[in-house]
Amino acid sequence: MTKDTNGRDAVSVRDLTFSYDGETDVLKGISFDIPQGSYTAVIGHNGSGKSTLAKLLIGLLAAKSGTIRILGQELNEETVYDIRNRTGIVFQNPDNQFIGSTVADDIAFGLENRCIPQNEMQGLIETAAAQVGMTKFLESEPTKLSGGQKQRVAIAGILAVAPDIIIFDESTSMLDPRGKKAINEEIRRLHEERDITILSITHDMEEVAQSDNVLVLRDGTIAMTGTPREVFSRERELKEMDLDVPFAWKITEELMKLGLADHPALNLEEAAEELCR
Ligand code: ADP
């Protein structure tokens, strides 16, 4: 893959095969590397194996064969807890992740697990709640929140901890476009400030356009890897997997060909502004 911040890989997967029933392989001997400090989007049609891969990477599922190295450590029964301390995951369905009786308790959970001193905790909780726009809900009961609000809290829990690697598995799927954009910007800011490696399983092609690398899964194999530009240039193959190149990207590509834009505009508004200049 392309971005190489310090030459080390945060994730290195070799010949990874996994089966739920021992018969049908849902991941079929895949290999890939994710450079430390990069932002990788994982895309693919439903059932292609994205969530299964995420669970394997944090040791919630065990591989049938192959190896996974996280931050240089091979994932196995002995290393799994150490690796989970350095890696966080936010699932699509936040209901499975709530433990605390208030939003604040819930955000605190990951910090407590990582033995953050009590006197630092409150500040970290408040900062994380503000980052996801949930300050007003700190004393609310998580189960009473809307789906989108629950997703915000789950994201806050991981942002508070700021582990070396964060895996987002469709973690903003219940948010409206504006909320999604705001949270994505916050995640991107933290990723850049703290050099956090991000793996984001997403259907949001605008988010994909902004990533460093893209990993495309198809029926348990890796169909493509590369920069967004490299992947988007294979539009016909993407279409076969029900994946659409974002319209704004196409416009910007045309503008660039005409010399009217010198950088990829990342949304339609920016592209339109370029066009009107
Ligand atoms: P994606 O995240 O790309 O939608 P998944 O990793 O969820 O794909 O699923 C990959 C394949 O594994 C699919 O065929 C799905 O039906 C199957 N699968 C997912 N979870 C389970 C499970 N708990 N038990 C059996 N099969 C599963």
Ligand 1, pocket-test mutation among 17, 18, 20, most atoms within 8 A of CB: 20
Does 84 lie in the same domain as 39? yes
Domain assignment of residue 111, yes or no: yes
pLDDT in the model for residue 93: 84
pTM: 0.90
Does 268 lie in the same domain as 151? no
Give pLDDT < 50 ranges for the chain.
1-5, 265-266
Does 257 lie in the same domain as 136? no
**51 Cβ below 6 A of ligand 1:** yes
Q: Give the residue from 2, 158, 12, 159 showing the smallest Cα distance to 71.
A: 12
CA of 48 to the centre of ligand 1 (A): 8
CA of 47 to the centre of ligand 1 (A): 5
Q: What is the DSSP letter of 195?
A: T
Q: How many domains does the chain have?
A: 2
**Do residues 31 and 68 make contact, with C-beta atoms less than 8 angstroms apart?**
no
Give CA–CA dist 81/220, Å, rounded.
26
**Do residues 31 and 15 make contact, with C-beta atoms less than 8 angstroms apart?**
yes
Give CA–CA dist 116/162, Å, rounded.
12
270, two tokens: 């920016």
Query: Residue 109: is it exposed, middle or buried by C-beta count within 10 angstroms (0-12/13-18/19+)?
Result: middle
**Do residues 170 and 90 make contact, with C-beta atoms less than 8 angstroms apart?**
no
Does 61 lie in the same domain as 182? yes
pLDDT in the model for residue 271: 57
Domain assignment of residue 135, yes or no: yes
pLDDT in the model for residue 258: 80
| Complex prediction ipTM | 0.99
Question: What is the domain-level CATH number for residue 217?
Answer: 3.40.50.300
Give CA–CA dist 155/132, Å, rounded.
7
**26 Cβ below 6 A of ligand 1:** yes
pLDDT in the model for residue 256: 78
pLDDT in the model for residue 272: 59
Cβ-proximal residues to 189 (8 Å cutoff; 6+ apart), any chain: none
Give CA–CA dist 231/217, Å, rounded.
12
Which domain range does residue 117 map to?
Answer: 9-245
**59 Cβ below 6 A of ligand 1:** no
**246 Cβ below 6 A of ligand 1:** no
Domain assignment of residue 217, yes or no: yes
**50 Cβ below 6 A of ligand 1:** yes
Residue 262, Cα to own-chain centre: how many angstroms? Answer: 28
**Do residues 46 and 196 make contact, with C-beta atoms less than 8 angstroms apart?**
no
Q: Name the pairing type of β-strands 87-90 and 165-169.
A: parallel
pLDDT in the model for residue 112: 85
Specify the DSSP element, H or E, that contains 276: helix 268-276
pLDDT in the model for residue 1: 46
Does 251 lie in the same domain as 241? no
45, two tokens: 């049609």
